[in-house]
A = this chain, B = another copy of it.
């Protein structure tokens, strides 16, 4: 028992986070001593709050603390344009650049037959229902340019190709094979404005 038990538990907890190894966990755990009581209480509470309060928007699946996220409930957004993204992080990336004023739909995954992820394993039904009910002018695919992303674009665009809707995807300004969260805002903004029609 090299560490006091509470410190040991904190180190174990930190090690569960991605990219945090033994040494980093120890360093971070010790740094907690330097935080004031209020900061630690906020840290502690926010962990629980994130798990308890955050759910998926009933309309677009984005993360929210309410039934409907702040984007879907914003009447000023252009409800004729829908941007399809893989996960809530991607919504946040677009919201940070601030130039997109349409709505989103979060698929929660990409079709990947090799990993056993078919169309039924992603949130496709909710999207297809929206396509039927709402009157979109344009659907923008903003999925990462990998095999899985392209497969998903092809699969979905085929299904909706008979609809009277413009289907586009963001431009390949994004380097192939990288995760979207590492792209800088400028590249992402260019990719958004250079989106090209695919049907």
Contacts and interface: CB of A to CB of B under 8 A. Distances in A.
Interface of A: 1-7, 9-10, 12-14, 16-20, 23-24, 26-33, 35, 37, 39-51, 53-54, 63-65, 70, 88-89, 92, 95-96, 181
A23 B183 CA distance: 11
Contacts of A7: 46, 50, 54, 63
26 contacts: A2-B95, A2-B96, A3-B92, A4-B53, A4-B63, A6-B53, A6-B54, A7-B46, A7-B50, A9-B42, A9-B45, A10-B43, A12-B46, A13-B42, A16-B39, A17-B32, A18-B27, A18-B28, A19-B27, A20-B28, A29-B50, A37-B51, A40-B48, A40-B51, A44-B45, A47-B47
The SS class assigned to the A binding surface is: helix
B63 A47 contact: no
Contacts of A10: 43, 46-47, 49-50
Contact of A17 (B31, B47, B48, B63): B31
Contact of A5 (B4, B44, B65, B88): B65
Protomer copies: 2
A46 B13 contact: yes
A41 B49 CA distance: 10
A90 to B, nearest CB: 11
Given A2-B92, A27-B181, A64-B4, A47 B50 contact: no
Closest 7 CB pairs of A and B: A13-B43, A6-B49, A10-B46, A9-B46, A44-B47, A44-B44, A4-B65
